[in-house]
Amino acid sequence: MKNYQSVVPIQPPAVARSATGLHLIGDLYGCLCDSRLMLDAQHLENFCRELVASAGLTTVGSLFHSFGEGGGVTGAVVLAESHLAIHTWPESGYVTLDVYVCNYTENNRPKAQKLFDDLQAAFNPADPHLHRVDRA
């Protein structure tokens, strides 16, 4: 057994954070939308990548997976600015949506908001539960 010595935490100096971020989270209930957005992984991936570009963000990769006949889709778009994650449950008209951007070299908040708003509009939820978290 190792002998652990007491460790005294050292308080680092206060540093201005230059990589602040914005995290937009949505639980979208009662979605009334094009069924391909809920069921078709390839369609949803293409749609998300188009909206990412339209918002002025940069896709560096993506992966979307379908859970088979009648099942939902889970997917992620990795952005140079951070990520978009989405999960669908067509059997209950439910979608979770997650858009996160950091702001290291520029303010990407308006771009993240546009992407989030465009996705939410496409899913057309009857009962959206939305959260906005300022990071760092």
The residue ranges of DSSP E strands in 41-136, in sequence order, are: 59-66, 73-79, 82-89, 94-102, 125-135
Cα separation, 63 vs 74, whole angstroms: 8
Q: Which amino acid is located at 77 in the chain?
A: V
* Nearest partner of 35 among 45, 43, 46, 25, judged by Cα: 43
Q: How far apart are CA 81 and CA 60, in angstroms?
A: 9
Looking from the CA of 99 toward its CB, the CA atoms found within 13 Å total 26
- Reading the block at residue 69, the tokens are 């006949």
> What residues act catalytically?
82, 87, 102
